Structure 1
Amino acid sequence: MVQKVTSVTTVEQGVYPVPDIPIKALLGAIPSHCFERSLLRSSTYIFWDFFVIGCIYKGASALDPLIDPRYIYLPHPLVYSALRFALWALYTFGTGLFGMGIWVLGHECGHQAFSNSKTVNNIVGFILHTSFTVFSVGVPYHSWRISHAKHHASTSHMTQEQAYVPHTRSELNLPPLKQGQEDLLGSRVSDVVRRELYDALGDSPLGAITTTIFYLLAGWPAYLLFNTSGQKRYPMGTSHFNPSSPMYAPRDYNQVVISTIGIAAWASSIATAIYHNGLATVAVIYLIPTCGFTTGLSSLHSCSTQTQFFPITGPPLLTSLAGRSLLSIAV
């Protein structure tokens, strides 16, 4: 939370008491009809999302050949390339949006919210997230379902959270936080210094574009493969494809293996598609919309300048941060 104190802006502050509200009270405040699960209604969302994606693809494929001097006059050859780029960028946005809907439906299967049947939920979720069919969005269903449940159970806990865990000051070799010190190592930064920092770091188009592209296209695979941005107390080798990773219990072993086999089959189908159609085509049609929206929406949903974190030790208080990616826990 940002607070103005004369000429000083607070960017890191103290503790936030956890509201003492029982889970039962929270659940009781939710209308009963919100807990009803309809297989028919859930299934219609799947068909609708794929129908819209198909329509967008057919529309873009039909318009692409028309961006040609034989059909339309444009003042310069580069304008044709720009218009074609705009067409497929619009395609990427549209299919990515509804493709994220497919990802969310698989996510709901993992939460057993798709239907009343656990078997149906897991079958549908595996098909949507993991299988080598065109329906998959490249997520190891059971592996991620298990770690994601831990994420919900320990959201924003420094040693239990599974994703988007910030670095502590000590991990970055910074000195302990001094609440009253008004400089870059303290809790407050003057308006003048803040503007200087923004001028130096906040308006770098090349850096922003490069970082964003890398983050959107590689962030999700890096998290699944190498636990990037995940729980930092886990050892090297932690991965959603390693059934011996610390976030999994022995009973999860077979489910992680099945998910890994499914992703291997999915990756093989992607490689086959690239072999027959070329990397550029597969990237535009499938990879960029899938990876970009999965990572982008997940990070936007999970990160905020107002994010609260549980400290590593001490009483049940939350430490407030001014941003997961820029600042660090004061320990």
Structure 2
Amino acid sequence: MAEILPQDLALEPARRLLAAGKPVAIPTETVYGLAADATNGEAVAGIFEAKGRPRFNPLIAHVSDRAMAERIAVLSPLAGRLADAFWPGPLTMVLPHRPESGIHPLVTAGLDTIALRLPRGFGRELIARLGRPLAAPSANISGRVSATTAAAVDAGLGDRIELIVDGGPTTVGLESTIIKIDGDAVTLLRPGGITAEEIEKVAGRSLSRGAKGVEAPGMLASHYAPNARIRLGAEDVRSGEALLAFGPDRAQGANLAVEVRNLSPSGDLREAATNLFAHLTELDRTNPPVIAVEPVPREGLGEAINDRLARAAAPRDTHGKRA
């Protein structure tokens, strides 16, 4: 079983494990990440093994500063402006990869681009102490609900890794926004903790949407999935269902729900984003066959919330797994 250490005691133990090629679960401002040395192929393979993650799915490389980022990727003037505005923070940029960077090919999944992020807090300090970038997808079983607490990490991965760093509940609660920069074009690959409108204001242009295949993490059709089926846009609640609510007004028949969690009683999208994965996990633990989800507005952070919910609701295959 994994040892759980508070982050103020965990910096050196985490560094030692990472230097030895072992994955470590760490807090970030978005969700908990399963981190490993991005330059060590065996260490990165340990992430895929622990998560059960498909190896065609690329990983984000996390850096401690702008200089480390520029040793790994080519930052255009536009990318530089966005980095100045949003780093450290929940923005990932997919950029041209420098082949001499030392990043292991498992991180990029064979692409000639790389996804880079500069996190806040413990993750940034740990990368600086290690002196190497960290590959760090969400610290959960692949395709399942992302973890926003150390306890959630332990429930999913506690028997597969040696250390979980406890930084308390994450503050953003959704994974980073991922954009791809190609010349002057900016494409939104995954909505997240920074809204499209915030990025457009700094970039001075509109974001396009739509990707060609899997260009970054979090783009598989089925992802972030609990065991229960998800029913979106619910205006009523059926007997035996759990209810993921939003705002002050309830769906018809809400009293029939076996359990209720409200993403934000006041209808605040930032609060809803912070609570999304934790509330899904709590409802799923009651073992309902279905979680009914009330409508969530799509503007601002609502775009990211609805993206995660749509992937969580993706159809299952004939074996009962997510398609």
Normalising by structure 2, what TM-score?
Answer: 0.27
Task: Tell which structure's C-alpha radius of gyration is larger.
Answer: 1
- Of Structure 1 and Structure 2, the greater helix share is in 1
Structure ranking higher on relative contact order (CA contacts 8 Å, 6+ apart): 1
TM-score, normalised to structure 1's length?
0.26
As a proportion of its length, which structure holds more strand? 2
